[in-house]
Amino acid sequence: MVKLIVGLKGAGKTKQLIHDINESVKNETGCMVCIENGTKLRYDIDRRVRLVEYQDYKCGRLEFLKGFVSGMYASNYDISHVFIDSFYKLIEKATVADVEDFVLWCDKFGKENRVSFTIIVSEDPNKLTETLKTYL
């Protein structure tokens, strides 16, 4: 399962992500990981969720992010949910096409490995493709 949280700056996306993370801890089994840019979520989410500071790994390409998620899962098959904060801040010069590519990859990866994804994208919802709108 892939869920997108989409909106422009100030639309409450991070607040929704924090709520989703904390609800998932209550209702899901398995390990949960939150990939973020910075450390703004540190005090707002349950301590059982592993926070990963993406910029510590000096990456910025879409293929690296896919490999990064795959590598995390390979090191811990108990991961059941991956939360990704601020997709556009993680990937240099990302476009809506990159978001769609990544979401479709996450959907396939998630089905094969029983992993859910929640991804924040700072974008005007009207600019999303029809494919992406199905993940809202």
Q: Does the pLDDT at position 83 exceed 90?
A: yes
Q: What does the alpha-carbon distance between residue 78 and residue 13 come to, in Å, rounded to a whole number?
A: 27
Q: What percent of the chain has pLDDT above 70?
A: 100
Give me the pLDDT at residue 12, please: 95
Report pTM.
Answer: 0.95
pLDDT class of 91 with cuts at 50, 70, 90:
very high
What confidence tens digit (pLDDT) does each residue in 106-135 have?
A: 999 999 999 999 999 999 999 999 999 999
**Of 13-17, 27-31, 35-39, 132-136, which range is least confident?**
35-39
The ranges assigned to domains in the chain are: 30-118
Residues with Cβ within 8 Å of 119's Cβ and at least 6 positions away in sequence, in order, are: 2, 3, 4, 5, 83, 84, 87, 99, 102, 103, 106
Distances (CA, A) of 60 to 5, 45, 55: 21, 25, 8
- Does the pLDDT at position 17 exceed 80? yes
Asked if CATH classification 3.40.50.460 holds for the domain at 30-118, the reply, yes or no, is no
Residue 3: what are its φ and ψ, rounded to 5°?
A: -125, 130
Taking the C-alpha atoms of residue 33 and residue 72, their distance in angstroms, rounded to an integer, is 9
What DSSP state is assigned to residue 132?
H
- Statement: residue 58 has pLDDT above 80: no
